[in-house]
Amino acid sequence: MISVEELYALYRKCTGITTDSRNIKEGMMFFALKGEKFDGNDFAEDALKAGARYAVVDRFLLEGTAYRGRKCIVVENSLAMLQQMAAYHRKQFDIPVVGITGTNGKTTTKELVAAVLSKKYNLVATQANYNNHIGVPLTLFRIDERTDMAVVEMGASAPGEIAELTKIVQPTCGLITTVGKAHLQGFGSFEGVKKTKGELYDILRQRGGVVFYNADNPHLCEMVSHRPGLCVRKYGVREQDVKVLPATPDSPFLKLELTHDDKPVTITTHLVGDYNADNVMAALAVGTYFEVPFKKMVAAIEAYTPSNSRSQLVKTAHNTLVIDAYNANPSSMRAALDNFAATEFPGKVLMLGDMLELGPDSADEHMAILRHAVSVSGEIYLVGNEFTAAAAALGAGYARILPFPTIEDLKAYVTEHPLEERTILIKGSNGKHMERVVDAL
């Protein structure tokens, strides 16, 4: 069986790595991975025919398969080999690596940190939200001799996953954005969330790395206090006496007022929601540590425009949409509702999709959010079985609440019953696909 070092030597002769046989470019190394509905081994020969130099497989019947000088390499487990090779690749580069995880805001924080650091350094950063056991290795393989730094986002839905990812990433510094109730079906409890996310702190303490933490967040302060010897850098809106300026219909984006060199500075972002202030402060903290000039940091933050249905403000011909629909859990849902309630937007409407993977707490959490939602808006559209059950239990007399089984049902309804001159918050777990209603609004 081939060793990690031997396979890595072959990789160095390739033009890159991919796990998708549809994205083969001449000379690449293809890793055949298994998913719930596919087996990459079935596409190994196709990858070779498409130009891959090697196909790494873990199904022995393919041993010896070759196509015009290109061949399959059999390993015991192709995913494990991909991860081991990524860790080996990471060790070849003595560069700072920022690891980012958290319940909410990790992708936005990663994007802001990357924008800030890119003003001074040649940077590799996680693309989109490719933050899992496959995406993290692929991110690391983008590091090369030209790379000054890397920013790697790490997600988790079960105990031990952050520990596994940090062993691959080997971060030199990092941060946890928040800890909250999410993926409880996998973590088991909020304490399980804190333990798993805290694995990033653990490895940074072992490695003598730096932890950036939000001193306004009591859970993070507690987690830091339980790990003596951590090298820390604090940030925070209250910690640094930063003012979050009120959003208005004419000026709906997040604005921060802070002091730099004894002078007031206003940062105007393209983000919707004052909860993003923490993400901005995290980016400033990391950038300051790595000596990015302050004016360049501000320019980077002000230029950043969110995508992928995260904290976006979209004005259609008929309505104003606040789209925060990439993911949802009780803490992020409550933050979005609180921010929406605090705005002066006219004609507020809520479109909320189920929060997934909450386990036995799901019914109670959905009811709590719905009770909060009726205090924010008198017009609420719900998608999914959990919110539908909560609406039935809540009963009449609170608001105009319309539940729908699927996003397609909601889209069909608002197509037949158009909304006009409303401000609509759209939020739900990614599996509910709430963004699909946008073109009907």
Distance CA(115)–CA(118), nearest Å, equals 5
The residue among 22, 46, 81 that closes a domain is 81
38 pLDDT exceeds 80? yes
What's the start-to-end Cα distance of the chain, in Å?
57
* Average pLDDT, integer, range 9-17: 95
Q: Are residues 333 and 423 in the same domain?
A: yes
Inside any domain, residue 87: no
156 pLDDT exceeds 80? no
**Higher pLDDT among residues 3 and 360, named by residue:** 3
Q: Can you give the pLDDT at residue 244?
A: 94
Q: Can you give the pLDDT at residue 208?
A: 94
> Over the stretch 55-108, which tens digit does the pLDDT of each residue have?
999 875 455 555 555 788 989 999 999 999 999 999 999 999 999 999 888 999
Distance CA(71)–CA(64), nearest Å, equals 7
The pLDDT-based confidence of 409 (bands split at 50, 70, 90) is very high
Q: Are residues 270 and 240 in the same domain?
A: yes
* Average pLDDT, integer, range 270-280: 92
Nearest CA-CA partner of 196 in 214, 210, 213, 182: 182
- Lowest-confidence pick of 312-321, 345-354, 396-405: 396-405
The CA–CA distances, whole Å, from 13 to 6, 8, 10, 26, 416 equal 12, 9, 5, 12, 58
Inside any domain, residue 235: yes
- Lowest-confidence pick of 57-71, 81-95, 169-183, 322-336: 57-71
Inside any domain, residue 278: yes
Q: Are residues 107 and 243 in the same domain?
A: yes
The pLDDT-based confidence of 185 (bands split at 50, 70, 90) is low
3-class SS string, 160-207: CHHHHHHHHHCCCEEEECCCCCCCHHHHCCHHHHHHHHCHHHHHHHHH
The answer to whether the CB of 274 falls within 8 A of the CB of 338 is no
Which residue range is the domain that position 188 belongs to? Answer: 93-303
Q: Can you give the pLDDT at residue 129?
A: 75
Q: Are residues 197 and 260 in the same domain?
A: yes
* Average pLDDT, integer, range 206-225: 94
Q: Can you give the pLDDT at residue 68?
A: 53
Cross-strand pairs, 313 = 322
189 pLDDT exceeds 70? yes
The residue among 61, 81, 101 that closes a domain is 81
* Average pLDDT, integer, range 42-63: 83
- Give the number of domains in the chain: 3
Q: Are residues 262 and 340 in the same domain?
A: no
Q: Is 416 helix (H, G, I), strand (E, B) or coil?
A: helix
User: For 242, which DSSP code?
Assistant: -
Inside any domain, residue 88: no
182 pLDDT exceeds 90? no
18 pLDDT exceeds 90? yes
Q: Is 411 helix (H, G, I), strand (E, B) or coil?
A: helix
Q: How many CB atoms lie within 10 A of CB 292?
A: 20
Q: Are residues 202 and 251 in the same domain?
A: yes
The residue among 303, 322, 339 that closes a domain is 303
Distance CA(167)–CA(170), nearest Å, equals 5
The DSSP H or E segment spanning 214 is strand 210-214
Q: What is the DSSP string of 81-144?
A: HHHHHHHHHHHT----EEEEE-SSSHHHHHHHHHHHHTTTS-EEE--TT--STTHHHHHHTT--
430 pLDDT exceeds 90? no
Q: Are residues 336 and 379 in the same domain?
A: yes
